[in-house]
Amino acid sequence: MKKKIAVFASGFGSNLQAIIDYIGRGSLNGEIALVFSNNKGAYALERAKKHKIQTVCMNTKDFASRKEFDLKIAEILKSEKIDLIVLAGYMLLLSPELVAIFENKIMNIHPALLPSFKGTHSIKDAYKYGVKVTGVTVHFVDKDLDRGPIILQEPVYIDNDDSMESLEEKIHRVEHEIYPKAVEYFCDDRLKIVGRKVKLISD
């Protein structure tokens, strides 16, 4: 039975598109049942509508607290029988309540090799620091920012003539390659969390 996926996005949604395309090639034992956004202007919502995927958009300003906001999201996800939440450029931190409800069922992608360069300016921080290698990390989400167990990592080498823009392009290409693969492993029940480590179960 196919896993049901909810993708959370606040902006352009290029990682959402990468997963949609991956599913379209018949490479995934899962389906995107819902795209959620906190931003009614997010292009990710247009991508979802184009592919006839259900969308939900809610604003935190319409709720008394972030806890109430996230509990409403949880209610919607439960009603849709969602198996996996995929964060794809979702610009809000999840409340501890939502993380607890979907423990080990929330993935995030980070444009650096965690635990280095945490936070929202990772590409810029790595570029300005002068590292020769940065990369991309896919990890499960826990209660702490950019700390959950790591599923996949892929290095990205910074050349002498790289600009911030060219590095961003490199990072995004790698994101679009490995995020669908991590989702595929989850949908095939091939990920086993042991302490802080995520083990990939062989075919």
Please give the mean pLDDT across all residues of the chain. Answer: 96
The predicted model gives 93-110 an average pLDDT of 96
Give Cα 81 to chain centroid, integer Å.
19
Tell me, what amino acid is at 113?
L
Task: For residue 133, list its beta bridge partners.
Answer: 157
- pLDDT in the model for residue 203: 63
Cβ neighbours for 102, distance < 8 A, ≥ 6 positions apart: 74, 77, 82, 85
d(CA 110, CA 123): 9
Tokens found for residue 161: 């003539």
Closest among 68, 73, 75 to 87, alpha carbons compared: 73
**pLDDT tens by residue, 124-167:** 999 999 999 999 999 999 999 899 999 999 999 999 999 999 99
Q: Is the pLDDT of residue 197 over 90?
A: yes
Range of the domain at 167: 3-200
Task: Kindly report whether the global pTM for this prediction surpasses the value 0.75.
Answer: yes
Question: What are the tens digits of pLDDT across the range 49-61?
Answer: 999 999 999 999 9
Name the domain count of the chain.
1
* pLDDT over threshold 80, residue 182: yes
CATH number at residue 161: 3.40.50.170
Res 41 pLDDT > 90: yes
- Cβ–Cβ under 8 Å, residues 60 and 33: no
Among 110, 121, 172, 176, the one annotated catalytic: 110
DSSP H helical segments within 25-143, as ranges? 43-50, 66-79, 96-101, 122-129
The question of whether 51 is a catalytic residue gets the answer no
Supply the angle between the helices 14-24 and 164-187 in degrees, to the nearest 10: 40
Residue with structure tokens 């823009």? 165
* More confidently predicted of 143 and 114: 114
Report the share of the chain in percent with pLDDT over 90.
95
What is the percent of the chain with per-residue pLDDT over 70, rounded to a whole number? 100
